[in-house]
């Protein structure tokens, strides 16, 4: 069985690194890309610009998307996704805040789930296990 492809998008390098460390441990998940903004995310998902090679940059099953980013936010990416004819995609929005209005908004826009960013690596690892379990069908999303 091929590993599930995950796309990680966060403007903070430290958070991208923590996500990378957490998701690297899984044999069932593979990181397709580590991106730092919404513009790169749109290009990656469309397969344009530097992301045109789908062998090198496969279309992901899951996007881990930061809520707040400069220029194009996670919310704007979700709004854009609603207008695109792309393969099925689960979007997990992560944020430094558990603001109920933010959560409501992203879920309304089609996000699969909304998580507060963990403070420790173990929390990131638990997030990776959650994604792995959902994709393997052992948990309900």
Residue 43, domain member (yes or no):
yes
User: Cβ distance 91 to 65 under 8 Å?
Assistant: yes
Residue 140, domain member (yes or no):
no
Question: Tens digit of pLDDT for each residue in 49-98?
Answer: 999 999 999 999 999 999 999 999 999 999 999 999 999 999 999 999 88
Q: How many folded domains does the chain comprise?
A: 1
- Confirm whether pTM is higher than 0.85: yes
User: Cβ distance 96 to 75 under 8 Å?
Assistant: no
Length of the chain in terms of residues written: 141
Residue 130, domain member (yes or no):
yes
pLDDT of residue 137: 79
Longest dimension (CA), the chain: 39
Residue 28, domain member (yes or no):
yes
Question: Tens digit of pLDDT for each residue in 92-115?
Answer: 999 998 889 999 999 999 999 999
For every residue of 82-114, DSSP letters joined together read TT------EEEEEES---HHHHHHHHHTT-SEE
Mean pLDDT for 44-50 is 96
Residue 113, domain member (yes or no):
yes
Residue 80, domain member (yes or no):
yes
Question: Tens digit of pLDDT for each residue in 25-44?
Answer: 888 999 999 999 999 999 99
**Full domain range(s) for residue 43:** 4-134
Residue 139, domain member (yes or no):
no
Query: Which CATH number fits the domain that encloses residue 108?
Result: 3.40.50.2300
Mean pLDDT for 113-140 is 86
User: Cβ distance 95 to 65 under 8 Å?
Assistant: no
User: For residue 131, what are the CA distances in angstroms to 2, 80, 94, 116, 127?
Assistant: 15, 23, 13, 15, 6
Residue 50, domain member (yes or no):
yes
């Amino acid at each position: 069985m091929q590993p599930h492809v995950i796309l990680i998008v966060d403007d903070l390098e430290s958070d991208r690194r923590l996500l990378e460390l957490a998701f690297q441990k899984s044999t069932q998940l593979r990181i397709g890309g580590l991106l730092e903004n919404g513009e790169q995310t749109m290009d990656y998902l469309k397969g344009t610009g530097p992301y045109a090679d789908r062998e090198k940059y496969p279309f992901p099953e899951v996007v881990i998307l930061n809520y707040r980013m400069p220029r194009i936010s996670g919310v704007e990416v979700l709004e854009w996704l609603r207008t695109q004819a792309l393969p099925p995609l689960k979007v997990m929005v992560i944020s430094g805040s558990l603001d109920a209005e933010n959560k409501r908004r992203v879920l309304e826009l089609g996000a699969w789930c909304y998580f507060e960013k963990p403070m420790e690596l173990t929390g990131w690892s638990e997030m990776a296990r959650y994604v792995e379990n959902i994709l393997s069908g052992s948990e309900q999303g």
